[in-house]
Amino acid sequence: MDEAIFKEIANELKGLNTQTVNLISQGKLSEAEDICLRALKMTASLSFYEGMAMFFYNLANIETLKNDLLQAITFGALCKEMHEKAQTDAEYCDKLLLKLAKAAMKKGIEHEKNGQLDEALEYYYASVHYVEEKYRQAMLKEIELIERLRSNG
């Protein structure tokens, strides 16, 4: 691709990102989400992984604000995956995933305490790959216990 065309596209994507961030800060989540989805189509058609990562990160933040931790983790993981494909630094994705995973783990514990084992498992499975080792081991034991309960019940 011609460098001038790529720079023009990159500038347009920067503008869309700025617009997205502004809409998120204003609480206009569905408008921000629409822009992200449109930008993802553009970046995917160009195989511009770093740009895709940026918009997956925004989508993760939008889903967090909508209180959908499971979807937020999915988008955070996609952000990380795109950075890996681009061979760029994914540290901010890692930090986001850790924060989301801890919140999802807590939500899983709440569900487990309320006897909602399927829901607890859903949150544990979503978060187990992104937490520190001590939490990972505890969750794996909980998952094993719940799975055993389900197979015996």
Where are the chain's structural domains?
1-89, 94-153
Per residue in 17-70, pLDDT (tens digit) is: 999 999 999 999 999 999 999 999 999 998 999 999 999 999 999 999 999 999
How far apart (Å, rounded) are the C-alpha atoms in residues 89 and 50? Answer: 9
How far apart (Å, rounded) are the C-alpha atoms in residues 64 and 103? Answer: 10
pLDDT for the residue numbered 13: 92
Q: How confident is the model at residue 9 (pLDDT cuts 50, 70, 90)?
A: confident
Structure tokens at 32: 């921000």
How far apart (Å, rounded) are the C-alpha atoms in residues 21 and 116? Answer: 35
The CA-CA-CA angle for residues 71, 76, 77, to 5°, reads 100
CATH number of the structural domain 1-89: 1.25.40.10
Q: Can you give the pTM of this predicted structure?
A: 0.91
Residue 115 backbone class (left: φ over 0; alpha: ψ -120 to 50; beta: rest): left
Q: Provide the 3-class DSSP secondary structure of residue 88.
A: coil
